[in-house]
């Protein structure tokens, strides 16, 4: 899903940090991140 940096930040801030974590995408363009279920 393509999100702007501000949209991504808003989504990440609303997630439960005990359940999800943010990681950099392997082999992705600079600055691309993904949300991963722990």
SS3 string, 3-30, reads CCHHHHHHHHHHCCCCCEEEEECCCCCC
Return the domain boundaries, the chain.
5-37
The predicted-structure confidence for 1-38, as pLDDT tens digits, reads as follows 788 889 999 999 999 989 999 999 888 778 788 999 99
Cα distances (Å, whole numbers) of residue 6 to 3, 10, 16, 27 = 8, 6, 18, 22
| Structure tokens, 8 | 């991504």
Alpha-carbon torsion 23, 26, 30, 33, what sign? negative
Q: How many CA atoms lie within 13 A of 2 on its CB side?
A: 1
pTM above 0.75, yes or no: no
């Amino acid at each position: 899903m393509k999100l702007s940096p501000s949209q991504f930040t808003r989504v990440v801030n609303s997630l439960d940090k005990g359940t999800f974590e943010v990681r950099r995408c392997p082999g992705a363009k600079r600055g691309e991140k993904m949300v991963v279920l722990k």
